[in-house]
């Protein structure tokens, strides 16, 4: 099947947008993308006309967790069959909102991906981590219950236990996540907000532990993504060879320079910080998290602005985990613009920069370029002047995933 998309505005993902563009989708690939005047004749193609055409969006930090509350312990006390069934609905919502690729850094994504790839359920292409790797008492451990219970419930929900201590366990942890289908390894290199007892400022995992994780992941050709708020955690992760920093709340000039030097990508997740400040309390956020989110919010927006100003490579991620919130992912673009990005920079972060957050696992997608995967969306407005158009799923008129029309 060949589709010929004729659009008033063609936004390639990287580089300048152009007026009156054509994109041709042949089988599963893009066979042309450029000005209408240069497009080949395609008498047999099905023609789609739209205001704007652009690459399918990338969510680079989501969680398919299948609970409604802003309380992660709720996940553990809901049956995994129920959370997974809800997450299937979230995957559909994401696809309808124009997200054709999800990098899922903790949750049931590795299992959803099986059913999506088989064509059993609709959804974006999901690159999951399964569980996350955390030290005992770290951000990925659940402090309010006995350790063995925490580990058992993590394994029951996300496939494998992720609480590891010492370089040998850390290495074995990477191997366990791989056997659950991980396409990216997610670790916690600092404390977090949504965990009870740890401090977001303090680093987590020792140097030998971080090095063992990165060594094993690199050898197995998967990239390591590190949750980091405090600067010490950011610097330790960078030194160990981590390639994406998630959140980056206390990133400063030195950390930004180190990220540029090492080619490390920042995934800011402004959406979740903004959401928790405004709506967390009404969504059951625990008291310990309320205290921590207040102190991190302003530092977080300053850090993103600094990263933008310095030229750190940024990919779009929201940290959405709640069922029903999926589909709102593109609100992040508006928040990134508030932090100093131009609309075109935000679009690049949400498209062309996405694949690189998977390192060796990256697909050939994220841009309207000949030969790339035909993951393409059409819109009823022009996001290159107003990214808020992307935030409403109703504005996404067509979604093509791998050349197949899945919406419109
Ligand atoms: Zn997260």
Instruction: Indicate the pTM of the whole model.
Output: 0.97
Q: Which of 141, 161, 186, 382 is the catalytic position?
A: 186
For residue 294, the model assigns a pLDDT of 84
**319 part of the active site:** yes
Helix (H/G/I), strand (E/B), else coil: 98: coil
For residue 292, the model assigns a pLDDT of 86
Distance from the CA of 246 to the center of ligand 1, in angstroms? 8
Distance from the CA of 383 to the center of ligand 1, in angstroms? 26
For residue 343, the model assigns a pLDDT of 98
Spatial distance between the Cα atoms of 312 and 258, rounded to a whole number of angstroms: 9
Spatial distance between the Cα atoms of 218 and 205, rounded to a whole number of angstroms: 18
Distance from the CA of 16 to the center of ligand 1, in angstroms? 31
Q: Which of 90, 198, 274, 319 is the catalytic position?
A: 319
Distance from the CA of 217 to the center of ligand 1, in angstroms? 19
**186 part of the active site:** yes
Where exactly are the structural domains of the chain?
Answer: 2-56+366-407, 57-361
Does the structural domain 2-56+366-407 have CATH classification 2.30.40.10? yes
For residue 291, the model assigns a pLDDT of 84
Residues 376 and 400: beta-carbon distance below 8 Å: yes
Q: Name beta bridge partners: 157.
A: none
For residue 109, the model assigns a pLDDT of 98
The number of CA neighbours under 13 Å toward the Cβ of 243 is 19
Distance from the CA of 63 to the center of ligand 1, in angstroms? 7
At 51, give phi and psi (nearest 5°). -70, -40
Class of domain 57-361: alpha beta
Distance from the CA of 321 to the center of ligand 1, in angstroms? 8
Residues 64 and 88: beta-carbon distance below 8 Å: no
383-388 — which CB contacts under 8 Å span 24+ positions?
383/11, 383/52, 383/54, 383/333, 383/343, 383/347, 384/9, 384/11, 384/17, 384/52, 384/343, 384/344, 384/347, 385/343, 386/343, 387/330, 387/333, 387/334, 387/337, 387/343, 387/346, 387/347, 388/333, 388/334
Please identify every residue whose CB atom is under 5 Å from ligand 1, which is an ion: 319
Distance from the CA of 169 to the center of ligand 1, in angstroms? 22
Within 10 Å of residue 67's Cβ, how many Cβ atoms?
A: 23
Distance from the CA of 105 to the center of ligand 1, in angstroms? 6
Residue 300 sits at the vertex; the CA angle it makes with 294 and 303, to the nearest 5 degrees, is 155
Could you report how far apart the first and last alpha carbons of the chain are, in Å?
A: 15
Distance from the CA of 319 to the center of ligand 1, in angstroms? 4
| Mean per-residue pLDDT pooled into runs of 10, the chain (408 residues) | 96 98 97 98 97 98 95 92 97 98 98 98 98 97 96 97 98 98 98 90 97 98 98 98 98 98 98 92 88 88 98 98 95 98 98 98 98 98 97 98 97
Distance from the CA of 133 to the center of ligand 1, in angstroms? 12
Beta-strand ranges (E) seen in 157-288 are 185-188, 224-228, 244-247, 265-267
Residues 355 and 125: beta-carbon distance below 8 Å: no
Sequence length of the chain is 408
Distance from the CA of 124 to the center of ligand 1, in angstroms? 18
Residue 183 sits at the vertex; the CA angle it makes with 177 and 185, to the nearest 5 degrees, is 55
Spatial distance between the Cα atoms of 146 and 144, rounded to a whole number of angstroms: 7
Helix (H/G/I), strand (E/B), else coil: 126: strand
């Amino acid at each position: 099947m060949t589709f010929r998309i004729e659009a008033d505005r063609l936004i390639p993902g990287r580089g300048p947008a152009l007026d009156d563009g054509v994109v041709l989708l042949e089988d599963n690939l893009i066979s042309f993308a450029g000005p209408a005047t240069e497009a080949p004749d395609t008498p047999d193609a099905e023609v789609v006309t739209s205001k704007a055409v652009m690459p399918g969006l990338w969510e680079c930090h989501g969680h398919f967790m299948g609970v409604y509350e802003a309380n992660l312990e709720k996940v553990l006390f809901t049956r995994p069959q129920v959370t997974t069934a809800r997450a299937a609905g979230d995957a559909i919502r994401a696809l309808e909102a124009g997200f054709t690729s999800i990098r899922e850094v903790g949750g049931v994504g590795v299992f959803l991906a099986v059913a999506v790839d088989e064509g059993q359920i609709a959804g974006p292409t999901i690159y999951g981590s399964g569980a996350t790797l955390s030290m005992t008492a770290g951000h990925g451990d659940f402090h309010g219950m006995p350790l063995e219970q925490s580990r058992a419930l993590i394994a029951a929900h996300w496939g494998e236990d992720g609480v590891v201590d010492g370089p040998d366990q850390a290495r074995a942890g990477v191997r366990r996540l791989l056997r659950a289908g991980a396409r990216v390894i997610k670790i916690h290199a600092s404390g977090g907000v949504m965990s009870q007892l740890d401090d977001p400022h303090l680093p987590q995992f020792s140097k030998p532990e971080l090095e063992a994780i990165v060594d094993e992941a690199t050898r197995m050709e998967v990239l390591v993504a590190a949750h980091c708020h405090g600067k010490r955690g950011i610097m330790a992760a960078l030194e160990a060879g981590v390639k994406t920093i998630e959140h980056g709340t206390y990133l400063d000039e030195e950390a930004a320079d180190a990220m540029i030097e090492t080619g490390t990508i920042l995934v800011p997740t402004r959406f979740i910080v903004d959401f928790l400040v405004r709506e967390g309390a009404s969504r059951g956020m625990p008291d310990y998290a309320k205290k921590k989110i207040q102190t991190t919010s302003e530092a977080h927006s300053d850090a993103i602005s600094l990263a933008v100003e310095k030229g750190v490579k940024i990919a779009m991620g929201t940290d959405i985990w709640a069922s029903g919130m999926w589909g709102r992912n593109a609100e992040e673009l508006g928040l990134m613009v508030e932090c100093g990005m131009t609309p075109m920079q935000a679009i690049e972060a949400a498209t062309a920069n996405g694949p690189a957050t998977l390192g060796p696992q990256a697909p050939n997608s994220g841009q309207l370029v000949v030969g790339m995967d035909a993951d393409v969306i059409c819109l009823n407005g022009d996001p290159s002047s107003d990214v808020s158009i992307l935030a409403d799923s109703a504005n996404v008129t067509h979604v093509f995933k791998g050349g197949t029309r899945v919406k419109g």
